[in-house]
Amino acid sequence: MERDFKTKVSRSNVRLMVDKEKKGWGFYASILFKMPMVEKDDIDTMATDGKSIFFNEEWSNTLTEEELDFVRCHEGMHRVLRHHLRIQDRDSNLWNIATDYAINSILKKSGMKMPKDGLYDAKYEGMSAESIYKAIMQNADTREVPMPCEWGQVKPNESMTEEQIKAEENIIRAEVTMAVQGAKDVGNLPSDIKSIIQEIERSQVDWSSVIRRVVGGDQPEDYTYRRPNRRALHCFDMYNPSTMKMSCGDVAVWVDTSGSVSTKEKQHALGELQAIAEDMQPNSITIFYGDADVQNIERYERGDVIDQLNSKGGGGTDPMPIFKYIDDNDLNVDSMVCITDMEFNNFPKHVDYPLLWVSTNLRAKKPPIGEITFINV
- Same-domain pairing of 114 and 133: yes
- Same-domain pairing of 261 and 332: yes
- Same-domain pairing of 189 and 238: no
- Same-domain pairing of 84 and 224: no
Boundary (domain end) residue, out of 170, 199, 228? 199
Whether residue 315 contacts residue 291, with contact meaning beta carbons closer than 8 Å, is answered with yes
Boundary (domain end) residue, out of 182, 199, 216? 199
Boundary (domain end) residue, out of 142, 165, 199? 199
9-18, 27-36, 317-326, 362-371 — which one is most confidently predicted on average? 317-326
Q: Tell me, yes or no, if the pTM score tops 0.85.
A: no
**355-359 sheet: strands from edge to edge:** 294-301, 284-290, 250-256, 335-340, 355-359, 371-374
- Same-domain pairing of 180 and 287: no
Nearest to 136 by CA among 308, 278, 305, 298: 305
pLDDT digits (tens, 9 = 90+) for 168-226: 888 888 888 888 877 766 556 665 665 566 555 555 566 656 655 665 544 333 333 33
- Same-domain pairing of 130 and 11: yes
pLDDT digits (tens, 9 = 90+) for 257-310: 998 888 777 777 877 888 788 777 889 999 999 999 999 999 998 878 787 777
Nearest to 261 by CA among 203, 184, 331, 317: 317
pLDDT band at 227 (very low <50, low <70, confident <90, very high): very low
- Same-domain pairing of 167 and 313: no
- What is the C-alpha to C-alpha distance for residues 15 and 69, in angstroms, rounded to an integer? 8
CA dihedral 325, 326, 331, 336 (to 10 degrees): 150
What would the mean pLDDT of 53-59 be, rounded to a whole number? Answer: 92
Look at the chain and report how many structural domains it folds into. Answer: 2
- Same-domain pairing of 176 and 215: no
Nearest to 54 by CA among 65, 66, 69, 44: 44
pLDDT digits (tens, 9 = 90+) for 96-134: 999 999 999 989 988 899 998 899 999 888 788 888 888
- For residue 10, give the 3-state DSSP assignment: helix
Could you tell me the residue range of the domain that residue 312 belongs to?
207-374
Question: Is 50 exceeded by the pLDDT of residue 3?
Answer: yes
pLDDT at 160: 83
- Same-domain pairing of 165 and 226: no
- Same-domain pairing of 193 and 248: no
- Lowest-pLDDT range, 89-93, 164-168, 237-241? 237-241
Question: Is 50 exceeded by the pLDDT of residue 236?
Answer: no
- Same-domain pairing of 259 and 219: yes
Residues 6+ apart with CB under 8 A from 62: none
CATH of the domain at 365: 3.40.50
Question: Is 90 exceeded by the pLDDT of residue 377?
Answer: no
Give percent above pLDDT 70 in the chain.
Answer: 77
- What is the C-alpha to C-alpha distance for residues 64 and 120, in angstroms, rounded to an integer? 19
- Same-domain pairing of 165 and 296: no
Give the C-alpha distances (Å, rounded to integers) separating 347 from 89, 179, 318, 343: 39, 43, 8, 11
pLDDT at 75: 95
